[in-house]
Amino acid sequence: AKGAGRNNYRFFDAELQIALTARATLEMDLRQGIANNEFRLHFQPQVDATGQVQGVEALLRWQHPTRGNVSPAQFIPLAEQSGFILELGQWVLTTACEKLAAWRHDPDLSPLRIAVNVSAKQFRSPRFVRSVIDTLTATGADPSRLELELTESVLADDVESLVEKMTTLRAHGVLFSLDDFGTGYSSLNYLKRLPLDQLKIDQSFVRDLMTDPNDAAIVCAVLTLGSSLGLQVIAEGVETDAQKDFLRRHGCAQFQGYLFSRPLAEEALATFLEARRPV
Ligand code: C2E
Ligand code: CA
Ligand code: CA
Ligand code: CA
């Protein structure tokens, strides 16, 4: 029995070793991905109550030569743990700003805002504010078309420095949205102090909105909170007309989800907008 125990232990050890090696390999691939041009941004439309597209959320896609499409749900957490998120996040920011600058001359694309996801680690970096301003200047993007999506995890930071960073960027015209709202630990007291433009209702509350009275109550509470704080509220993960109608009836004016469109490659976004052009 003793021997078996030892074997089990060795077996577990070997498995752990394999898992760690796989992780290290994925991490190396991730670092090479930028140089090899394997990352793309997809864009998911955000629409108002009249169906007009107001902006898009930039969502990172990784097409690896042998792994195929790797989901951001897999590689973003790894990039955050390894610190590589700083480099990857800068790539996203630069690419989004380059798109904004390039879209200036296109009548369908030029009115759009681009929302960029910023990880807490990235926002916490002392160089972050400078790098956003420098990227805007270098690309010639209009700062008021750039929206930064922060999650509640940034609230773990010192509120003074958080507010200071946001205020500096907002003075340049950059907008701020609080993503996945309601899933983290937002203290309402913090929320009041943050110079935000928008709250984003997390899709986990939208999913069962029509069947779960608790989710419906939370959604209504966020809409009321947003309006009393003078913030826009956008609902994400909207998949059905029933969800959209419920949200609209309760004062929601911005929507994002498969009901309107999946995240699209740039060419597909252009086609999507062209088809919706008012005649
Ligand atoms: P998120 O910021 O909450 O983004 C929304 C996610 O919901 C996206 O998943 C989007 O494709 C998906 N989605 C949109 N509409 C619907 C819908 O109607 N139904 C359902 N079921 N899902 C919908 P995606 O693209 O797989 O991204 C997952 C997460 O990865 C994002 O969640 C975000 O946290 C992270 N992420 C993606 N791109 C970036 C990035 O450039 N930087 C950082 N830091 N994180 C990113
Ligand atoms: Ca987001
Ligand atoms: Ca979200
Ligand atoms: Ca989410």
From 177, 172, 193, 186, select the one nearest 232 (Cα to Cα): 177
CB atoms within 10 A of CB 112: 21
Atom in ligand 1 nearest the alpha carbon of residue 80? 44
| Prediction pTM value | 0.93
18 Cα: distance to centroid of ligand 2 (angstroms): 32
pLDDT tens digits, residue range 182-235? 887 777 778 888 999 999 999 999 999 999 999 999 999 999 999 999 999 999
**8 A C-beta contact, residue 270 and residue 50:** no
Determine the Cα–Cα distance for residues 92 and 75; give it in Å rounded to an integer: 14
Q: How far is CA 237 from the centre of its chain?
A: 13
Determine the Cα–Cα distance for residues 239 and 215; give it in Å rounded to an integer: 15
Per-chain residues with Cβ under 5 A from ion ligand 2: 117, 149, 179
Q: Give the residue, by CA position, lying nearest to ligand 1 atom 23.
A: 237
pLDDT tens digits, residue range 40-75? 999 999 999 999 999 999 999 999 999 999 999 999
Atom in ligand 1 nearest the alpha carbon of residue 42? 25
268 Cα: distance to centroid of ligand 1 (angstroms): 18
ipTM attached to this prediction: 0.97
Task: Specify the pLDDT at position 1.
Answer: 44
